[in-house]
């Protein structure tokens, strides 16, 4: 286990790939009573390492969201340790870990406290509807799950994922006393406010690309828009980029700046022409 701070250690699951980077980060918070954040996938060696690191000290198992690379190990660890499971279960959208169950969903602002530390649950929908971050108040460390990753923007997965929610949640995080971001994948991120500002700017720049593509191409389907809006993306990532493109279009539709036509084609909305003076 790598010790990141006086209160936080990290074990990374061996599930690295193009989407997960070096693997899913599992964080252990505390010394006498532990909170485990994102136990990760069903990989026996990783689960055993977590059990050894926790011993008999595990009190809470927290899950940022219920995707298969973050939560499946939770139920096994809870059964073997007696620790309490905490997270948010949502309706299955085809991407959920259906093995994860809790008696009561987390709520925004919920506090989990021991004599050593306090974790604050922050609802940050966008990537998916049940995504939560956790702020370690004593160190200003934000455990961001898949809301923020190192070196890559996260995919927004409609219909439960929502681009407007994602941007709003990212802006809201700027109001918290965050000193460092501990992402679900990758290394610690310093200068958190700068990171958050860059994420919002990147999403809004991509949004302008979508509008520009609709102006150039006219009424178009996702497959025609995709290479125009994500021209720099390697082919292996295009299926994920297609989901985020869909999320951008849904946001623009809500705002009246795009509209959906027949056969899943999209065009500029009337509101766009009003806002642009056309």
pLDDT at 278: 45
pLDDT at 201: 97
Question: What is 74-125 written as a DSSP string?
Answer: HHHHHHHH-PEEE-------SS--TT---SS---TT-EEE-SS-EEEEEE--
**What architecture is the 2-190 domain classified under in CATH?**
4-Layer Sandwich (3.60)
Are the CB atoms for 64 and 46 separated by under 8 Å? Answer: no
Residue with tokens 């250690």: 9
Q: Looking at the chain, which runs of residues are DSSP E strands? A: 2-3, 8-12, 25-29, 34-37, 58-62, 84-86, 111-113, 118-123, 132-136, 141-145, 180-183, 220-221, 258-260, 265-268
pLDDT at 272: 59
Helix, strand or coil, per DSSP, at residue 206: helix
Q: Report residues of the chain scoring pLDDT below 50.
A: 273-278
Domain boundaries for CATH 3.60.15.10 within the chain: 2-190
Question: Residues near 114 by Cβ (< 8 Å), separated by ≥ 6?
Answer: 30, 32, 33, 59
Are the CB atoms for 179 and 192 separated by under 8 Å? Answer: yes
Q: What is the pLDDT of residues 132-180, one digit of tens each?
A: 999 999 999 999 999 999 987 899 999 899 999 999 999 999 999 999 9
Q: What are phi and psi of 123, to 5 degrees?
A: -75, 120
pTM, rounded to two decimals: 0.93
pLDDT at 151: 80
Domain boundaries for CATH 1.10.10.10 within the chain: 205-275
Helix, strand or coil, per DSSP, at residue 265: strand
- At the top level of CATH, which class does the domain 205-275 belong to? mainly alpha
First-to-last C-alpha distance (Å) of the chain: 59
């Amino acid at each position: 286990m790598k010790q990141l701070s006086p209160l936080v250690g990290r074990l990374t699951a061996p599930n690295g790939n193009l989407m997960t980077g070096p693997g899913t980060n599992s964080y252990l918070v505390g010394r006498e009573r532990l909170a485990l954040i994102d136990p990760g996938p069903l990989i026996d060696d990783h689960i055993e390492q977590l059990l050894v690191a926790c011993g008999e000290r595990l009190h809470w198992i927290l899950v940022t969201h219920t995707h298969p690379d973050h939560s499946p190990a939770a139920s096994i660890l809870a059964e073997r340790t007696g620790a309490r499971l905490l997270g948010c279960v949502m309706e299955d959208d085809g991407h959920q870990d259906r093995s994860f169950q809790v008696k009561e969903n987390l709520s925004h602002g919920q506090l989990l406290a021991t004599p050593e530390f306090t974790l604050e649950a922050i609802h940050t929908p966008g990537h998916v509807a049940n995504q939560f971050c956790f702020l370690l108040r004593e160190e200003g460390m934000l455990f961001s799950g898949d809301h923020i990753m190192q070196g890559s923007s996260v995919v927004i997965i409609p219909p439960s994922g929502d681009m407007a929610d994602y941007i709003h949640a990212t802006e809201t995080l700027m109001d918290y006393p965050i000193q460092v971001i501990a992402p679900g994948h990758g290394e610690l991120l310093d200068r958190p406010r700068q990171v958050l500002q860059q994420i919002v700017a990147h999403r809004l720049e991509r949004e302008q690309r979508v509008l520009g593509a609709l102006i150039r191409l006219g009424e178009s389907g996702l497959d025609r828009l995709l290479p125009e809006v994500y021209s720099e993306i390697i082919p292996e990532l295009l299926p994920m980029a297609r989901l985020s493109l869909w999320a951008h279009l849904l946001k623009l539709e809500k705002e009246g700046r795009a509209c959906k036509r027949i056969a899943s084609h999209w065009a500029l909305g009337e509101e766009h022409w009003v806002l642009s003076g056309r």
